[in-house]
Amino acid sequence: MNQTQTTEAAAREPLLTMHQVRKAFGSNQVLQGIDLEIYPGEVVCLLGPSGSGKSTVLRCINQLETIDSGSINFKDEYIGVRPKNGRWFDLTERQKARQRREIGMVFQKFNLFPHMTVLENIMEAPVKVKGITPDAARQTARDLLERVGMAAFGDRYPVQLSGGQQQRVAIARALAMDPELMLFDEPTSALDPELVGEVLDVMRELAKSGRTMMVVTHEIGFAREVADRIIFMADGTIVEEGPAASVVGSPQMERTQQFLSAVIH
């Protein structure tokens, strides 16, 4: 293999692979064997009706839930477990924490620490978890605030900000750990309609910068414009996936067609 071929082969290695992932809550089989791959630099939007298992997919990737069977592979390691002699062993809390910090998550509810300023919120994890010096972390935090259009708000407390501003800070906070993968779970669903655009703008910029992103959203226009690929889920399975223009523009499955005609006005 020459150098170019080697580089291309590396680029085709998925960053994340879910293989036959199953998850139940009691008798409710929420994920019924999910197979998906996310490649470096890809932006993948996850669409589907409420209750279809979208959040559970993200929560399993980020180890907020454990899976019942199947596997999740991230950067050539299994998430949460390690195979040995044909059996699976749970990773230690320390090992799980190391995996978690490479995956950033932004939730519907902004989840900022209310007793900390905006700057302190963003500096917290880099200082406490990565051991970055406060001065360096503050500088990075300021750069990130600039990037999300919040440079003037570093000394404010979350309660003094609008929902859209809080969500932009939450995105900056996740980026402060420089994660390989960013997960967004309906990041604009809790916002007043006039504040949705400012958050989507920040996400659009992130996508352009090459950040690998998985985004659960009901913003079909955003998905169509920004996603490299759309995955449509219903009842714990992947019904259809493909390039954004084809899944939204000419969905093949009836379930997808029904969903899209209900949400696109």
**Residue ranges that bind ligand ADP, judged by CB under 6 A:** 25, 28, 30, 48, 50-56
First-to-final CA distance of the chain: 51
By C-beta, is 5 or 28 nearer to ligand ADP?
A: 28
By C-beta, is 67 or 161 nearer to ligand ADP?
A: 67
Rounded to whole angstroms, the Cα distance separating 215 from 218 reads: 10
- Residue 105 pairs in a beta bridge with 183
By C-beta, is 55 or 140 nearer to Mg ion?
A: 55
Nearest approach, Cβ of residue 23 and ligand ADP (Å): 8
Name the one range near Mg ion by CB under 5 A: 11-19, 47-55, 188-196, 250-258.
47-55
Instruction: Find the binder of Mg ion among 17, 18, 42, 55 (CB under 5 A).
Output: 55
- Which of helix, strand or coil describes residue 201? helix
Beta-carbon contacts of 221 under 8 Å, excluding residues fewer than 6 positions away, are none
By C-beta, is 73 or 189 nearer to ligand ADP?
A: 189
Angle (CA) 219 224 225, round 5°: 100
DSSP strand pairing (77-78 vs 69-74): antiparallel
User: Considering CB under 5 A, how many residues would be counted as binding Mg ion?
Assistant: 1
C-alpha dihedral sign at 95, 99, 102, 105: negative
Nearest approach, Cβ of residue 83 and Mg ion (Å): 30
Nearest approach, Cβ of residue 230 and ligand ADP (Å): 15
52 binds Mg ion (CB under 5 A): no
217 binds Mg ion (CB under 5 A): no
Rounded to whole angstroms, the Cα distance separating 41 from 181 reads: 9
Residue pair 23/230 in contact (Cβ under 8 Å)? The answer is no
Nearest approach, Cβ of residue 68 and ligand ADP (Å): 13
CA 7 to chain centre: 26
C-alpha closest to that of 233 among 14, 15, 18: 18
Nearest approach, Cβ of residue 196 and ligand ADP (Å): 18
188 binds Mg ion (CB under 5 A): no
By C-beta, is 55 or 167 nearer to Mg ion?
A: 55
56 binds Mg ion (CB under 5 A): no
- 187 touches which of ligand ADP, Mg ion, none (CB within 5 to 8 A by kind)? none
DSSP strand pairing (16-25 vs 28-38): antiparallel
212 binds Mg ion (CB under 5 A): no
Nearest approach, Cβ of residue 1 and Mg ion (Å): 43
- Can you tell me which residue has the tokens 């259809």? 240
Binding site for Mg ion (CB under 5 A): 55
